[in-house]
Structure 1
């Protein structure tokens, strides 16, 4: 008779380290098969398989744990952070688990379900009234955080955009979990959505150190300042790109950015519909962006494997996704008609980088372990 293991315990009684290991181990790695017009396969880490439906749960718990271990965050100390949504949910959950009061600053466009999740975990949510005239909602939120910090200097500013604990959390818990299922030697290229750049920083370091021929790309929306967009622009996507800053986390990882894949919003939203129809995956728009970017790279490589990560699930964005265009094909795009791949270094880095070397030929039939 087969031995049946009891289900894992959850809750405050479980040591934090064990909770983090379980969060990372719960993330599936799936093959989406070859990209359109290519024999190159796309593998995706499903970051939405978390309690709050995004990879930010693991990040939030890990970041706060590292800050406590380093002595930067005292037990019970109150927290403050700016958020566009998913990180706020992750922080609200982690702060409640660890016993930290939390204040979050967001904007009126935060999804209603996100607000409900944050408040259900006991966090205080403050929304700014108007965008900054030049830096948009992101800068308006940052200025409100600075004002609150000036009035309450005892607050701990999580500051995911610049904190070394951000990539540190992914390196300590996410990388070992993926390394048990993905051999970096089998990955020809990787592309990750960049907001703060935390998971790009940790995963690109792991991949490149283990496989120097692997090239790592950033998936970006047009109009973001992160990689030096010539003209600022708005987007319906949340949690990707930056309107007012270049986060220190991604700036410190620029040497591993082989290029940037810029994806228009319409293509990101259409990709969400494609993933639902073809793979039964309900994901958010940033995951759609990652899929389009991975497809564009796979079409350039022709053979091999491209690794990406889908940051979240799609239930938060149901109204947006139901209105997504149906007539944007995931075929090979003409230059200027869809995503475009830049293989130059980011504009905010002084030196340039050569184009990636041709991919190694590999068996396209492999699947993740």
Structure 2
């Protein structure tokens, strides 16, 4: 049994906010990179604690989850704090540096080597996870995409924001599992009921109705439809391409010394656009993690050039009439609906 180390929980959250210039305007960013395991450590702890309270997670039982990397970091910290070993199902595109870090943490990695023909890497990982669960009796699967305790983990972040800022008119949120946007919106609208919410997705992601395509970006977008996405919360959605996200990451780093990954770049791009479009509004976004796992991708000229990501990028989003109208580059739509047609 892994001995719990609850003092590690003190490393989660309590992150600062900072004003970021956007042309002649500015927006506010919540810097989750200041927390040792990034934003998703909040969700990891929430899901494990709730499972233990229900009796679904026994003391010392292993945790098994599919991840592109970020939630995995959160689960490692949560597992060590609460006394659970962690098994992560990852894929061949996981960065070598992150693999080495997971190895140093003593995490068992199960690596999927072929993407699913329909659901991509995510479905391939989930299929492997199902096989492993059958071989690991008593293991707990948090199921980050469909677990409502994911969103519950962001209540503390929302309360921190309420204490840190005087007003928020627009929330710009990157969408992967859907948890942090749903959790923040639920709390922030208790103070600001007219809060506008802009979702930021990846080109080639199915979440908001686009066709599923191969994506270079990790942690942003999805090849499956997570039930944690609260479609009724959104006023509009933006899709950001990999080249646009790279350019935004690099501009942000050069201008501020703040750097992060795909979700950070995409959120910064859309938050800056929203702030410049309406200088009187107060725009808030979240930068989920720092730059270290992306040094060989987003911040590497050779890798970016090989993937065609150093080409000129869009300076404004193209507006499309429906979310099914395929977007390339950077696009937006003010009509938001559940592609499955089952959630309002």
TM-score for the superposition, normalised by structure 1: 0.82
Alignment of 1:62-101 (within 5 A): 62-101=46-85
Secondary structure of the corresponding residue to residue 249 of structure 1 = coil
Give the corresponding residue for 1:137.
Answer: 121
Give the corresponding residue for 1:322.
Answer: 300
What is the rounded CA distance, in whole Å, between the counterparts of 2:270 and 2:78 in structure 1? 31
C-alpha deviations, 1:17-47, integer Å up to 9, x for none?
xx35x5221x1100002x23x64x2110111
Secondary structure of the corresponding residue to residue 224 of structure 1 = coil
Secondary structure of the corresponding residue to residue 88 of structure 2 = strand
Give the corresponding residue for 1:174.
Answer: 157
What is the rounded CA distance, in whole Å, between the counterparts of 1:334 and 1:227 in structure 2? 16
| CA deviation after TM superposition for structure 1 residue 65, in Å | 2.1
| CA deviation after TM superposition for structure 1 residue 125, in Å | 0.3
Alignment of 1:329-348 (within 5 A): 331-332=315-316, 338-348=329-339
Aligned equivalent of 1:235, options 192, 215, 226: 215
* Cα pair 2:316 2:330 within 8 Å, conserved: no
Change (3 A) 1:349 1:132: closer
Q: Which moved more, 1:330-339 or 1:187-196?
A: 330-339
Structure 2 residue 277 is matched with structure 1 residue 300: yes
What is the rounded CA distance, in whole Å, between the counterparts of 1:212 and 1:63 in structure 2? 27
Aligned equivalent of 2:19, options 2, 17, 31: 31
What is the rounded CA distance, in whole Å, between the counterparts of 2:182 and 2:57 in structure 1? 23
Aligned equivalent of 1:160, options 127, 137, 144: 144
| CA deviation after TM superposition for structure 1 residue 59, in Å | 2.3
Change (3 A) 1:345 1:182: same
| CA deviation after TM superposition for structure 1 residue 347, in Å | 4.5
Structure 2 residue 170 is matched with structure 1 residue 189: yes
| CA deviation after TM superposition for structure 1 residue 207, in Å | 2.0
Change (3 A) 1:326 1:144: closer
What is the rounded CA distance, in whole Å, between the counterparts of 2:135 and 2:6 in structure 1? 35
Count of aligned residue pairs for this structure pair? 327
TM-score for the superposition, normalised by structure 2: 0.88
Give the corresponding residue for 2:266.
Answer: 289
Structure 2 residue 38 is matched with structure 1 residue 60: no
Give the corresponding residue for 1:210.
Answer: 191
What is the rounded CA distance, in whole Å, between the counterparts of 1:337 and 1:140 in structure 2? 25
| CA deviation after TM superposition for structure 1 residue 133, in Å | 1.4
Give the corresponding residue for 2:34.
Answer: 49
Give the corresponding residue for 1:3.
Answer: none
Secondary structure of the corresponding residue to residue 186 of structure 2 = helix
Give the corresponding residue for 1:4.
Answer: none
Give the corresponding residue for 2:225.
Answer: 246
Alignment of 1:240-279 (within 5 A): 240-243=220-223, 245-250=224-229, 253-279=230-256
What is the rounded CA distance, in whole Å, between the counterparts of 2:112 and 2:342 in structure 1? 38
Structure 1 residue ranges (4+ consecutive) displaced by more than 6 angstroms after TM superposition: none
Q: Where do 5+ consecutive residues of structure 2 fail to align? A: 320-326
Secondary structure of the corresponding residue to residue 94 of structure 1 = helix
* Cα pair 2:208 2:339 within 8 Å, conserved: yes
What is the rounded CA distance, in whole Å, between the counterparts of 1:77 and 1:344 in structure 2? 44
What is the rounded CA distance, in whole Å, between the counterparts of 1:341 and 1:177 in structure 2? 29
Between Structure 1 and Structure 2, whose CA radius of gyration is higher?
1
What is the rounded CA distance, in whole Å, between the counterparts of 2:219 and 2:61 in structure 1? 26
Give the corresponding residue for 1:363.
Answer: none
Give the corresponding residue for 1:365.
Answer: none
Change (3 A) 1:81 1:280: same
* Cα pair 1:108 1:129 within 8 Å, conserved: yes
Secondary structure of the corresponding residue to residue 116 of structure 1 = helix
What is the rounded CA distance, in whole Å, between the counterparts of 1:289 and 1:240 in structure 2? 9
| CA deviation after TM superposition for structure 1 residue 76, in Å | 0.6
Give the corresponding residue for 2:324.
Answer: none
| CA deviation after TM superposition for structure 1 residue 154, in Å | 1.8
* Cα pair 1:79 1:101 within 8 Å, conserved: yes
Q: Which moved more, 1:260-269 or 1:337-346?
A: 337-346
C-alpha deviations, 1:228-277, integer Å up to 9, x for none?
11x2112211111111x211111xx2111111111111110101110111
